[in-house]
A and B are shown apart, each in its own frame.
Chain A
Amino acid sequence: PVTAAFNQETLQQRLQTLIDGAQESWTYAIFWQSSVDDFAAQAFLGWGDGYYKGEEDKAKRSKKGSSPASIAEQEHRKKVLRELNSLISGPASTDDAVDEEVTDTEWFFLVSMTQSFMTGSGLPGQAFYTSNPVWLAGPERLASSVCERARQAQGFGLQTMVCIPSANGVVELGSTEVIFQSTDLMNKVRVLFNFNNPDLG
């Protein structure tokens, strides 16, 4: 679906189209939306929307060296998930699913919802500021990045992180697989997320 105007409602569809249709196995996609903080008179990227697809195979993931979260850490994650669930569905709601293991990548995705980046800082902020994609493939590249978000991602078992700038923000993708740069994917992002481009109208 290509429209000329930015449309919050179609963000989810666009993120799904991007990674469900990809040949590579992406774990999640996030759209960081550009806004201006009136108080600080500064541009920043905040949560626009996100799509968590999940990992292909949990057993395969654990072989890759991502150590499982400790019992205390799991309890903490479940507690937060329970609180978030009651925030969404009401305090009386019960959901057995919140008592299931919260995987590292699920947790990383959830924590991302609380984050924002000043233009020029962090991986999404850099991509937006320079208008150049950032593609980090391989745990070593993530671990040695100057950006905390990339290092954090590696700690949660992600092996590839990509930030592709568009007119209104940045599309970030993450995977527990090592995925090398793909022109096809970058073209897809340009088509799906280049809002307000008169040529696409």
Chain B
Amino acid sequence: DGDLPLQRRKSLQRFLEKRRSRLVMVSPYGS
């Protein structure tokens, strides 16, 4: 509902960023 507590929001943001960078490293098309 868009009302995400701050700490969870931060954790989620970190998780999504790390996942993105991990997938870029794995994908041959990532760079």
Q: Do A and B come from one complex?
A: yes
CB-CB under 8 A from B15, the residues of chain A are: 50, 52, 109-110
Chain A residue at smallest Cβ distance from B14: A12
**Given contacts A12-B14, A88-B13, A88-B16, are A54 and B4 in contact (CB under 8 A)?**
no
Contact call B8/A47, Cβ cutoff below 8 A: yes
CB-CB under 8 A from A88, the residues of chain B are: 9, 12-13, 16
Which interface class (under 10, 10 to 19, 20 to 34, 35 or more) fits B? 10 to 19
Residues 74-94 of A, flagged 1 when their CB comes within 8 A of B and 0 if not, give: 000000010011011100000
Q: Which of B2, B5, B14, B20 contacts A95 (CB 8 A)?
A: B20
The distance from the CB of A175 to the nearest CB of chain B, in whole angstroms, is: 18
Max chain A Cβ within 10 angstroms of own Cβ: one of B4, B19, B22: B19
CB-CB under 8 A from B14, the residues of chain A are: 12, 51
Q: How many A-B residue pairs have CB under 8 A?
A: 44
Contact call A47/B11, Cβ cutoff below 8 A: yes
The distance from the CB of B19 to the nearest CB of chain A, in whole angstroms, is: 6
Which interface class (under 10, 10 to 19, 20 to 34, 35 or more) fits A? 20 to 34
CB-CB under 8 A from B31, the residues of chain A are: none
Contact call B11/A49, Cβ cutoff below 8 A: yes
Contact call B11/A97, Cβ cutoff below 8 A: no
Contact call A106/B19, Cβ cutoff below 8 A: yes
By a beta-carbon cutoff of 8 Å, the part of chain B in contact with chain A is: 2, 4-5, 7-16, 18-20, 22-24
By a beta-carbon cutoff of 8 Å, the part of chain A in contact with chain B is: 8, 12, 47-52, 54, 81, 84-85, 87-89, 95, 97-98, 100, 106, 109-110, 113
**Extra inter-chain contacts (11) besides given A12-B14, A106-B19, CB under 8 Å:** A8-B7, A47-B11, A50-B11, A50-B15, A52-B18, A52-B19, A87-B4, A89-B16, A95-B16, A98-B16, A113-B12
Q: Can you spell out 17 A-B residue pairs with CB atoms less than 8 angstroms apart?
A: A47-B11, A48-B7, A49-B7, A52-B19, A54-B22, A84-B12, A85-B16, A88-B12, A88-B13, A89-B16, A97-B16, A100-B23, A106-B19, A109-B15, A110-B12, A110-B15, A113-B11
